Amino acid sequence: METLVVFYSRSGSTKKIGEEIAKTLNADIDEIIDRKDRSGIKGLFTGPIDILLDKHTKIESKKNPLEYDLVIIGTPVWLGTMTPAIKTYLADNDFNRVAFFCTYGSTPGRTFNEMEKSTRKPEAVLGIVKKEIEKDETKENIKNFSDRVIKESI
């Protein structure tokens, strides 16, 4: 089964989880680039403003998700939902099967519900609190999530 892990990450946490999932599943990776500058203090405001205004952004991606049986899509949680980059990616693409993951400071909020509304029902979801990324328990959760997506997708 061909699997692709897609993620957007502003400060590296979602990227770290995405790379770990890809390693576990021997999957390809596509890191989404947001062409709008989200760095620094200014970046802390432009993302939430775009979310509040329900705006899409300009993104760069490299792989065609329809060439994969399963696409695992990851986002940081911003303002209780997915980032503008992932919102745009989901609106621009079609998928065979999907699974979702996110990293967050305190709660995943509406993220998975809204990702599902933008695409389809996920095979599995995984939410990780940023401060627990380095814990052994997180590695175990990634392993369980990876086993689950494979089992559900066969």
Ligand X SMILES: Cc1cc2nc3c(=O)[nH]c(=O)nc-3n(C[C@H](O)[C@H](O)[C@H](O)COP(=O)(O)O)c2cc1C
Q: Which residues bind ligand X (CB under 6 A)?
A: 9-15, 44, 47-48, 76-80, 103-107, 109, 130
Judged by beta carbon, residue 80 or residue 114, the one nearer ligand X is 80
The pair of structure tokens assigned to 115 is: 């990702």
Alpha-carbon span 119 to 105, nearest angstrom: 25
Question: Which residues contact residue 80 at a Cβ distance below 8 angstroms, ignoring those fewer than 6 apart?
Answer: 107, 109, 110, 111
Judged by beta carbon, residue 64 or residue 106, the one nearer ligand X is 106
- In whole angstroms, the minimum distance from the beta carbon of 8 to ligand X comes to 7
- In whole angstroms, the minimum distance from the beta carbon of 20 to ligand X comes to 13
Judged by beta carbon, residue 63 or residue 130, the one nearer ligand X is 130
- In whole angstroms, the minimum distance from the beta carbon of 67 to ligand X comes to 25
User: For 32, which DSSP code?
Assistant: P
Any bridge partners for residue 99, and if so which? 72
